[in-house]
Structure 1
Amino acid sequence: MTLLRSALFQLLFYAFTILYMLVCLPILPFISRQVMWRAIVLPWVAVTGFLLRVIAGTKVEIIGREHIPAGPLLVASKHQSAWETLALLPLFSDATFILKRELTWLPLFGWYMRKGRVIPIDRGARAAALKSMTQRAREELAGNRQIIIFPEGTRRAPGAPPAYKFGVAHLYAAFGVPCLPVALNSGLYWPRNALVRRPGIIRVEILPPIPPGLPREVFLARLQTEIETASDRLLVKGRAELGMDRP
């Protein structure tokens, strides 16, 4: 039954997403990024959450919203699933992502991402990529935006050893804004590279922001410890609810 519901969710999710993007496409060149955010992106995220809850039986619990400060912000989130690439957006007033450049080349989806002024990064360019990412991030923060970055760079399976990259520490040191750690257990319910969408509760924990001014190495160690500790706690709870801890 879970596999059948998962397949139905996938079918409706992709069908709705493609149709929605096609319907909205004619107005895309004529609206501002902010209008696109409010009138197109947020409704799409809401419908996706509704489909996930009603069809797959996957609910969401978010704690720690009171920790989100106003103004420009660096958001460092655990990355286990495609789920957080859309579900984190409504938590912030004007968020954007740092993501691999190839995603902006996708038909339809990439056009909307470019309109939303995401920050693409060419992973093969190394130093040049870091310089370009820093400049673009500086521009977006100057516009009072929140930048969401996945410090490990790619999705990691639940419980996999952490692999934090130094890029997040570079941005933290470069801009002098708070960094908001985000822990989650989404990979239990929306696994990477898998069709199944498990019923249950995806949990997100927004941790207190790390103030600017720490040395890079100290910041990165603190960030990893806080995210991993909270994510491990959420994984234990999720696995117990799913019966994954049974012999």
Structure 2
Amino acid sequence: MAVLRSVMFNVVAFVLTGVMGVGALPIRWFMPGRALAYARLWSRLVLWLFRSLCGVRVCVSGLEYLPKSGPALIASQHQSAFDTLVWMLLLPRPCYVMKGELTRIPLLGPMLVLTGMMPVERAAGARAMRLLLAGTDKAVADNRQIVIFPEGTRTLPGEQVALKPGIAAMSSHTGLPVIPVATNSGLFWGRNAFVKRSGVLHVCIGPAVGPAKRVVLLEEIEKSWRALEQDWVQ
């Protein structure tokens, strides 16, 4: 059953993405200001398919810690493509820190630029950090809520990796605290996994930590993640 559901989801999501990718052309040419709303619609539809076809119930806790408006820094665990979609529905004006190569994907890439996402060329070294902070300034001035995945790549459920320092630099640079988020999304939509599993997917949002020195802040984010993970372990 899981395989059949996964086939249906992957096929329908692929077709939907292709159709909406083509449909985005008039948005890019004539209504660039509607790009974020269009991206939110696509995310909503893909996640609806995921829940409906794959038998997944999404449980979000800690919404009271998210801002209703204004700039914010969200440090989320990253296990799945799900994590790159859900924030479109949870935040008023999301801005993702993402790999720069994503902007070069046909149809999708130009829309990511129009929606105001923050591409970072990770191989650029010190220049990448300068660009990250410049992009952070722009997003904060535009009252965007910045979502960053400090692990740097998708990880397996329960896997622990050293966090990248970018989130600490952003917090120190802006004076904003960091809102930690833990998830078990990889159990249901695994990294590069064709089969999607049913069950209860948790997105657990915790109270903000910092600002603090880099080492302290990264430790606080890790500590918060471990505490939030108890929501689905129990």
Q: Give the TM-score, by structure 2 length.
A: 0.95
- How far apart in 2 are the matches of 1:29 and 1:96? 21
Matched, 1:236 2:233: yes
Aligned to 2:100: 101
Runs of 4+ off more than 4 Å: none
- Specify the SS of the correspondent of 1:81: coil
Shift of 1:119: 1.1
- How far apart in 2 are the matches of 1:171 and 1:50? 33
- Specify the SS of the correspondent of 2:180: strand
- TM-superposition CA deviations, 1:20-66 (whole Å, max 9, x none): 12123123222243x2222x122212211221122111121101111
Aligned to 2:31: 31
Answer with 145-154 or 158-167: which moved more: 158-167
- How far apart in 1 are the matches of 2:226 and 2:25? 40
Aligned to 2:8: 8
Matched, 1:56 2:54: yes
- Specify the SS of the correspondent of 2:19: helix
Shift of 1:234: 4.8
Shift of 1:211: 4.4
Unaligned runs of 5+ in 1: 238-247
- Specify the SS of the correspondent of 2:204: strand
- How far apart in 1 are the matches of 2:194 and 2:232? 20
Answer with 184-193 or 203-212: which moved more: 203-212
Aligned-partner residue type, residue 115 of structure 2: G
- How far apart in 1 are the matches of 2:232 and 2:163? 19
- TM-superposition CA deviations, 1:92-138 (whole Å, max 9, x none): 11111111110110001111101112111111111011111111111
Matched, 1:166 2:165: yes
Answer with 101-110 or 66-75: which moved more: 66-75
Q: Give the TM-score, by structure 1 length.
A: 0.90
Aligned to 2:213: 215
Matched, 1:226 2:189: no
Aligned to 2:21: 21
Shift of 1:235: 5.6
Could you tell me whether the CA contact under 8 Å between 2:36 and 2:114 is conserved in 1?
no
- How far apart in 2 are the matches of 1:125 and 1:201? 39
- Specify the SS of the correspondent of 2:203: strand
- How far apart in 1 are the matches of 2:87 and 2:93? 11
Could you tell me whether the CA contact under 8 Å between 1:52 and 1:59 is conserved in 2?
no
- How far apart in 2 are the matches of 1:138 and 1:127? 17
- Specify the SS of the correspondent of 1:205: strand
- Specify the SS of the correspondent of 1:124: helix
Aligned to 2:44: 46
Answer with 5-14 or 157-166: which moved more: 157-166
Could you tell me whether the CA contact under 8 Å between 2:100 and 2:119 is conserved in 1?
yes
